[in-house]
Structures are given as structure tokens and as C-alpha cells.
Homo-oligomer: A and B are copies of this chain.
Amino acid sequence: MDKRVFGYPLMKIGIIGGGQLGKMLSQKAKQMGFYVISLDPSAACPAASVSDELIVSDFYSPEKLKELVEKSDITTYEIEHINTSVLKELYDKGYNILPSPYCLEIIQDKLKQKQVLQSAGLPVPRFERVESFDISFFENFGFPLVQKATKGGYDGRGVVVIKSKDDINKVLKTESYIEEFVDVEKELAVIVARNKKGDVVSYPVVEMVFDEIANILDMLIVPARVEKDIEDEAKKIAIKAVEALQGVGVFGVELFLTKDRKILINEIAPRPHNSGHYTIEACITSQFEQHLRAICDLPLGSTKLLSPAVMINLLGEDGYKGTPVIEGLINALSIEGVSFHFYGKKVTAPFRKMGHITILDDNLERAIEKAKKVKEVLKIKSEV
């Protein structure tokens, strides 16, 4: 019998970032009786109206980060691009910041991340730090290759494909590394949760289908349409990766399944992840509740999948910018099994994540058809 008792609120949770992930995390925290303080540059951010308090600040202000951490029993974050040096200082003084800023620092630097994973014996694409921008350096590594900036990349930014010598003008003149161009059969993702005690659980393997033109996630399918042994292997690798990083919290682990049936780790996010939104409706414990359980050192919840699911992001239509207008909502909601999430961003812009849709259906193929139908009818445009 665990004798810990809780008052109300259970604890004060500080969240750096008040975007959609912060909003969904805050909503779950409020359901469970936590007090939530969000920090975001915008007073009108999605989390603002669903948190107890909002500190308006950018993610690098030492004073404001300190204020948040001091006010909170546990501080966490929904984004990676934040000031780790301030957070490390506070962490070293004994404040609870989870995942730890040391773990975050490794993940922020994609090269360091790869090195840690490789040292732990985990499968990653062959890679090398860029020591020279001379073409011979790239040629020696072998074409085709992918060059990635070590820091600051997001949604495909900071990444270029170099197919041959002729692409030399594409090379990023920045702190970066190169990795082999992987012949990908499917992209997979696994949400993993780990608490301080070291208890660790994984969610079902999801299949990420990309829009090749915009290079953004088009559709997320769960369970992934892969063989059982691939599924088991993917979960095992994802769990080991989070253990290698000594991560505490929820992590999104993105994987490549190669054409020759190997699984390689692509990258890791130290927070609830777009590929885990389906868990809100489709799993007993959502990734957001799981993150709270993990960072508060509560027992981890069941990750059981209650139904096959497909998730699609609702992106701002290309060519529209301004106050959002939703077209086709009635038609989308008339499709059985559709759940609608709209984040409350005041302005839409091309490809901006404005919301998402989850579709539950016993039959996965039918869920995929429904998702395609939703994509046809539902459009986020703007006032003209």
C-alpha cells in the first residue's frame, strides 16, 4: 500500500509552450485535478483558456522560465526549442523538470542523439558529422545521402537530400551531419512512456503516411499494417531508445522500416507527439495522461488499443492566411466515428496545424476510406 497522499490540486504542473500539445496536456491535467501554469509568447495561445495561469514569455527568458519552475511542483515542455542552460541550472538546484534538461539537450542536438543511440547498440542509419563542405567529403561518404542540421530542424526544415555531386549547391553550410539515404518501405512511430522508477510501456505501432509534395504527415494509421515480428521489434527498439536517453515522460520515437525489413531509428521527440493524438480516443490512457503519470511518478496507465484508428492533421489550406473558416464540418461530422479537434489558433496559414481528426472504426481499411473522405470535404480556409 503506497501511503502518499495528495491534496487539491494534486500538484502544480508548469508547461513550457501553450500550443496544441500544451492545450491537450493541460486539458487532461485539469481533468485529473492538477493545477496548470502554461508559458507561451502569445496571450491568445491554444492553452491560454484551459490552464489556470499563463505566463507570457518567449522560451528563452531566464527570468520567466525561473518564475515558472519556481511556481510549479513539476515543469515539463511541449516543444524542444527552449533554453536548456537555464533549465539545467534549476534542475541542478533540485527543481523537478522532466524530461530532464540533460536528456532534452541530447535530443536537441540530432547528432548527439544519434551518437547516444548508436553507443547503446541501437540501429540507426549510417551517419557522420560534416567536417568539411568540400564535395569530396560527401563523395567519400557515398551518394545518395541526407544532410541534416544538428539543431533547429522542424517539420522537414533543416534537411536536404543530396543525390549526387550535382546537388552540391544544396548543401547546408551549417553545423550538420550526413546520413545514408534510407530506402524506406514505411515510416513508423511508437509512443513510449517511462517514469522515474524506470517502469516503461509502449503504445501500439503506428504507420505514418507522408504527403511527398509538402513533406508533411498525411495520415496516421494504427495498428500499423506490418507483420507481428516487425511490430514487436519496433516496440522493443523504441523502449530501449528511451531507456538509453534515461527519459522520464512520454516520447515519440520515429522509425524507418527499410525495404530490406530492417528497423532504424529516425528521431525522437521528448514529449507527447503528433503520432500519438489517436490515443485520446483509441486507447484507455491517452499519451497526455500518460505523460502526467510518468513525470509525476504515478503508476503508468494501460496503453491498450480499443479500436483501430486513423488520424489526420487539419492543416491550413495553401493560399489562405488570416482568421480561420472551416468548410465542410457538417459533412465531416456526419461520418460515423469521427472526432474533431480544433486548437483555437487565431490565424490560419498554409500548412499550419489548426486541428486534427481521429476516426475510429472496427475495420481499418474502412477507417482509411473515411479519413480520405474527411480530407476531401473538410478545409481550413480564411476570411476573404
Contacts and interface: CB of A to CB of B under 8 A. Distances in A.
A355 B33 contact: yes
Of all A-B residue pairs in the complex, the 4 with the closest CB atoms, nearest first, are A33-B342, A2-B330, A299-B334, A306-B306
Interface in A191-207: none
A153 interface: no
A43 B27 CA distance: 19
A183 to B, nearest CB: 38
Contact of A326 (B6, B284, B293): B6
Contacts of A36: 49
Counting contact residues on chain A (CB < 8 A from B), the size range is 35 or more
A30 B329 contact: no
B52 A325 contact: no
A2 B331 contact: yes
A337 interface: yes
B333 A299 contact: yes
Given A6-B325, A284-B307, 15 more contacts: A2-B331, A2-B334, A5-B327, A5-B329, A27-B27, A27-B30, A31-B341, A33-B341, A281-B284, A284-B337, A284-B339, A298-B333, A299-B330, A299-B334, A306-B360
23 contacts: A1-B328, A5-B325, A5-B327, A7-B323, A7-B325, A8-B342, A23-B30, A27-B27, A27-B30, A30-B344, A32-B340, A33-B326, A33-B344, A284-B337, A284-B360, A285-B339, A289-B339, A293-B333, A298-B330, A298-B333, A299-B333, A301-B338, A301-B339
Nearest to A285: B339
B30 A50 contact: yes
A233 B326 CA distance: 40
Interface in A30-48: 30-33, 36
Contact of A50 (B24, B27, B336): B27
Nearest to A34: B342
Contacts of A24: 31
Interface in A294-341: 298-299, 301-302, 304, 306-307, 323-331, 333-334, 336-341
A343 interface: yes
A181 B49 CA distance: 48
A324 B27 contact: no
A327 B7 CA distance: 9
Contacts of A383: 7
A5 B8 CA distance: 41
A329 B49 contact: no
Interface in A76-99: none
